[in-house]
Amino acid sequence: PIRRITVPQIAARKNGQPIVALTAYTAPMARLVDAHAEVILVGDSLGMVVHGLDSTIGVTMEMMILHGQAVMRGSQRALVVIDMPFGSYEESPAQAFRNCARIMAETGCGAVKLEGGARLAETIRFLTQRGIPVMAHIGLTPQASNVMGGFRTQGRDEASWPAHIADARAVTEAGAFATVVEGVMEPLADRITQAITAPTIGIGASARCDGQVLVLDDMLGLSGWVPRFVRKFGDLGPRAEQAIAAYAAAVRDHSFPAPEQTYRAE
Ligand code: KIV
Ligand code: NA
């Protein structure tokens, strides 16, 4: 079997060769992403993208485990990182360890991701010292959207920069092997990336990061509305819609199934 990309290999990518990361939630999509990305993130965005929730707050451990298992089955080369859902790690380092260990044991993934900066440093240290590799996630943290009053780009006011830079330093000193930086202004992304030895993986955080991640469905054009920081590298939504409409028409006009799709004696 092909050996997967390891946590230390990603941690060492502070060298100008960008880390390519994408989300995937299912085995077939993981197979496609695995051929091109170094990191596959089973993001809790799956709650909104796949399950139709309004936010990531309602995502459960069971959802992350089922999708994590599917992505592990569909991939063989990329490092698979699974998001810890809201409520599964914030209470205490012990609670975080219990749930992270369960995710890792039941899926076989290589690492977990937690949202939060300095306030999570103690937890990140506790986990990494006990064999759980942690990717941090700072800047715009969607699980805190109820506190922040929505999804807002961070760092518009320069006075807020020191706190974000302190978050990056705190999670890195605590042992995070890489940090997702979401929704921050370019100069702040630049400062954060320069402030830490671990790579930054940006989303809506400019090119001043050591890697990039996007939600796969967004960049494929499968999501209805996408924010400005997403580039649609494909336009699969309208193409899927056309195919579905063609199927419906063919059933209605009796042109499907045709003889080629029909089992008959010769
Ligand atoms: O849930 C998610 O998909 C994420 C990435 C977009 C970073 O956390
Ligand atoms: Na997430």
pLDDT value of residue 147? 92
How far apart are the C-alpha atoms of 195 and 168, rounded to whole Å?
8
Buried b (16+ CB within 10 A) or exposed e, 120-131: bbebbbbbbeee
Closest ligand 1 atom to 56 CA: 1
pLDDT value of residue 1? 62
Q: Is the CB of 203 under 6 A from ligand 1?
A: yes
Active site residues: 182
How far apart are the C-alpha atoms of 81 and 40, rounded to whole Å?
6
How far apart are the C-alpha atoms of 240 and 237, rounded to whole Å?
5
pLDDT along the chain (266 residues), means of 10: 90 94 98 98 98 97 98 98 98 98 98 98 98 98 92 94 98 98 98 98 98 98 93 97 98 97 92
pLDDT value of residue 228? 94
Q: Is the CB of 115 under 6 A from ligand 1?
A: no
Residues that constitute the known binding site: 44-45, 83, 113, 115
Annotated domain spans of the chain:
7-234
pLDDT value of residue 16? 86
CATH superfamily of 7-234: Phosphoenolpyruvate-binding domains (3.20.20.60)
Rounded to the nearest angstrom, the distance between the alpha carbon of 92 and the centre of ligand 1 is 23
Q: Is the CB of 44 under 6 A from ligand 1?
A: yes
How far apart are the C-alpha atoms of 145 and 213, rounded to whole Å?
20
Q: pTM here?
A: 0.97
Q: Is the CB of 43 under 6 A from ligand 1?
A: yes
Angle (deg, nearest 10), helices 93-107 and 61-74: 40
Instruction: Choose which residue among 22, 23, 137, 182 to substitute to test ligand 1 binding: the one with the highest number of ligand atoms within 8 A of its C-beta.
Output: 23
Going by CA atoms, what residue is nearest to atom 1 of ligand 1? 43
Residues that constitute the known binding site for 3-methyl-2-oxobutanoate: 44-45, 83, 113
pLDDT value of residue 135? 99
Q: What tokens does 133 get?
A: 């590799």
Question: Of 135, 93, 107, 142, which is closest to residue 27 (Cα–Cα)?
Answer: 107
Q: Could you write out the DSSP letters of every residue in 91-142?
A: S-HHHHHHHHHHHHHHH--SEEEEEBSGGGHHHHHHHHTTT--EEEEEES-G
pLDDT value of residue 15? 80
Going by CA atoms, what residue is nearest to atom 2 of ligand 1? 43
How far apart are the C-alpha atoms of 65 and 104, rounded to whole Å?
9
